[in-house]
Amino acid sequence: MSERRRRVISLARAAWHRGLAGIGLTQSERRLAADAQLFWTDRADRGWKDNSHWADAPVFGEKVPWQEIGRQHLDMFRRGARMAGFDRPWERVVEWGCGGGANAVHFAPHAREFIGVDISTESLLECEKQVKSVCDTPFRAVAIDVPRPESVLREVPEPCDVFLCLYVFEVLPTPEYGDRILRLAHRMLSPGGLALIQIKYDEGRWVTRPRRRSYRTGPSQMTTYAIPEFWQLAARVGFRPEAIELVPENELDKRYAYYFLSKPA
């Protein structure tokens, strides 16, 4: 099947499921979380490496160099840190959804310890391998299950100075599940720390709303927020939103919003 035909089928399937969701035929968060767990641990899926951002994934040979992803995010974080007045040493960095290490290889060399959190043990091993290839920063792998993200607090009781979550919120089962991850981020971040969290934003059209069904056929379409909605959600959790950087489109997808969130000291 050609790539063009595959894309047409994907768009038609997405429209079908969004239409069903629009008339109330959604699936429960419990069902979507279970489907997400299966999706991210099933390496038999054709696009698994693409979605998990491994260095040898086909998408990075076709669209954008793998090394550029993390480099761009590090530059972005530095801009946000200057705006927020964040200049403390990075004793501990936590990346939620580290995948194959595209961000870790750029952030880990600046940290005393790097903690990768992911659903896939294979991705955690790959991320550790990539980090060790560029620096001597100790790497701690933390595997979690989608239905029970709060288990991370047992594995990582120490606070972190930097919390990263990039290309993850869009694949969470529901926006309400995203609220859980934001609360965990706030608990894990030390006072005075800085988080960089990226979402896909809802433009107010039915095709950009949260999907709420059929996780395996469209993981990157599952969760969106209106731009002010996520800002307000972060503030309710206890963050101090510092700034937003919008990327309407890049080589990988569209409608990205990056939030710089500090935890008041």
Q: Report the side by side order of strands in the sheet with 254-262.
A: 139-143, 111-118, 90-96, 160-165, 189-200, 254-262, 240-249
Query: How many CB atoms within 10 Å of residue 39?
Result: 19
Beta bridge partners of 93: 114, 162
Q: How confident is the model at residue 45 (pLDDT cuts 50, 70, 90)?
A: confident
State in words which class domain 3-262 has.
alpha beta
Name the H helices within the chain: 3-22, 29-40, 48-52, 58-62, 66-84, 104-107, 121-132, 152-155, 175-188, 227-237
Q: How confident is the model at residue 108 (pLDDT cuts 50, 70, 90)?
A: very high
DSSP string, 39-90: HHT-TTSTTHHHHHT-TT-HHHHHTS-HHHHHHHHHHHHHHHHHHHT----E
The mean predicted confidence, pLDDT, of the chain is 93
Polymer length in residues for the chain: 265
Is 132's pLDDT higher than 80? yes
Return the pLDDT at 21.
78
Is 203's pLDDT higher than 90? yes
Cα–Cα distance for residue pair 212/221, rounded to 1 Å: 9
Domain range list for the chain = 3-262
Residue 188 phi, psi dihedral angles, 5° rounding:
-80, -25
Q: What is the pLDDT of residues 49-98, one digit of tens each?
A: 999 999 999 888 766 799 999 999 999 999 999 999 999 999 999 999 99
Q: What is the pLDDT of residues 140-184, one digit of tens each?
A: 999 999 999 999 999 999 999 999 999 999 999 999 999 999 999
pTM for this model (two decimals): 0.94
Q: Which of 10-19, 201-210, 232-241 has the highest mean pLDDT?
A: 232-241
Q: What angle do CA 64, 58, 145 make, to 5 degrees?
A: 100
Is residue 225 within 8 A of residue 242, CB to CB? The reply is no
Is residue 196 within 8 A of residue 76, CB to CB? The reply is yes
